[in-house]
Amino acid sequence: MDYQMLMLVIGTVLVIEGVGPLLFPEQWKKYLAEISLQNKNVLRRLGGSLVSAGVVLLIIFA
């Protein structure tokens, strides 16, 4: 993967991540407050699931 493709991927992730707080700031604050109350193990499982899904997608489409 070259540098330009990496920057395109990072830019896409930033756009997707920024849509929630940009369009729905109050709901976003509630979401973050709810997430912060979760057990550490629940957050680890969620993070692990997201990373695993990302790796699978990278393997399939790379």
Q: How many CA atoms lie within 13 A of 11 on its CB side?
A: 6
So what's the pLDDT on residue 53?
94
- The answer to whether residue 62 scores a pLDDT higher than 90 is no
Task: Write the DSSP assignment of the chain as a string of letters.
Answer: --HHHHHHHHHHHHHHHHHHHHH-HHHHHHHHHHHHTS-HHHHHHHHHHHHHHHHHHHHHH-
CA angle 13, 56, 38 (to 5 degrees): 65
- The answer to whether residue 1 scores a pLDDT higher than 80 is no
Query: Higher model confidence: residue 5 or residue 30?
Result: 30
So what's the pLDDT on residue 44?
96
